[in-house]
Structure 1
Amino acid sequence: MNTYFRGNDYKVVDRTDFDKTTIQSENVWGVDDESLFNNSLQIIDANVKPGQPFFAHIMTTSNHRPYTFPVGKIDLPLGHREGAVKYTDYAIGQLIEQAKTKPWFKDTLFVIVADHCSSAAGKTKLPVDKYHIPLFFYAPDLLPAGHNSRMVSQIDIAPTLLDILGAKGSQHFFGQSIFEAERKQLPQRVFISNYQELGYYKDNTLIVLSPKKKAQAYAVDAASLQSTPTAMKPEILNEAIAYYQTAARAYKQGDLKEHKNAYWQH
């Protein structure tokens, strides 16, 4: 993660940079979400000039084991996933309410997303239901309220973000704007993975690519997202290989380096 952040010109701030008196609780993962958000707002206020665009990426940790958080904030006990998730929801609500008092709020887009669900393992190597995550775009002065049920991936977040902000993104993205894809009626597809397998989900079929050039196809129930082995579909298999091979080759050959610091423009 550090390599990715530093390679993309991130300025990384963590709990070692926080005033200890501002931290309510912490564990091996980091500080509680409220303390994280409060410090984040202070850092934004200290570093962002009026009218200056900024990008802040904040990673929460309270909803990870051992599920500890400040007592007295919610009506569920510590040490359990349900309480930790409810606390994170509470903390995000507090963050939004505090942000509403800032001069930059009306021009700011909040993106709230998860990485994966709990226990991302199952009967299949890549259980699709364990990768079904929430994604919220919140900007009451920029976006109307609505719901989009289109099937998308995390790689679609960045181009969607630029699309909402009216920016012209460079064409190096492998993802696509959710709204542009909807306008153009592009095929719906999803990319999921773990440390060994690469998944490509399209037309209720999941292709799993494994080491040593192994591939398996699964039929996915659209309602439950449960998977069962099925006959290989060569067309979808070839698409899966093409996507991942092209991305790997571009990375290894440095094809994306020329785009550094030129990702978007107004």
Structure 2
Amino acid sequence: MIYDELKILTGGDRYVTVEFGNELTLDLNFMAQGLAKALVEQKVTGVIETVPCFASLLVHYDPERIRHGDLARELLRMAGQLGSIENVTLDSRLHYIEAHYLDPWTKACIDDYSAKITPKEYDPAFVARINGLKDAEHLARVHAATEYWVSAIGFYPGIPAMMALDPRCVVSAPKYNPPRTFTPAGTIGMGGVSNTIYGVESPGGYQLFGHTPVPIWDPKRRFKRAFEGGLVLLRAGDRVRFIPVGREEHGEIARLVAEGRYVHKIEGYQRFSVKAYKAWVAGLDKTQRP
């Protein structure tokens, strides 16, 4: 739910967290990102950086330039000025990312987990079954039929937390228990209703069903234009659309990436209106999946 009153939580002497609610919903994230945008636009003294999460906003500040109490009051004032969620507009890029669904690399990862840790059903089949889909291929079609909203950038380098913008494409799944010790870089997976791309090889607990050769983490700075001079491709407030490709095209893209010649497919910043988005959702036939 959305809290009637925001919670301002202290994080040491340089951080505060603004909590908008206790659910994983797009509305709460729109509010968090709306407040982050307002802090930038109004150039609040002493604010260094903001980090949106699903239902909250972490604010990094300089205590020598603004007191904790003054910042808390300013945050409450600015959040109140946002008004209705529908008033929020955000700058958003759209990334087209090629994805090989039901790929051999994540299957090998799942098989390794089943052999060495505990037996489990093939992830795509499991996710399809518990969401009432026909089979793994149906899951792949549904997953590729929507844009995904980047709610936050997470705890591994460049890893996004994303939610489906088309409610007809929302699927959910529990995380592994216990988690994996290894996940291939480029793996696409989900936990709960959160979707992600693993930017580096790492442990993990999301259900796996696809792989992309497209880099989202660039420590060697080989793709400066797409990464806008940084190390991380995606930003909170971006959108992602997965483009299904086969094994051969996946391999060709991987070759271009290795040679440093891959060109990321990105539509520049556009104004994302929450009001317009909600009007679009209201007009959908939600009785059937795409």
TM-score, normalising length from structure 2?
Answer: 0.25
Report the structure, 1 or 2, having the larger helix content.
Answer: 1
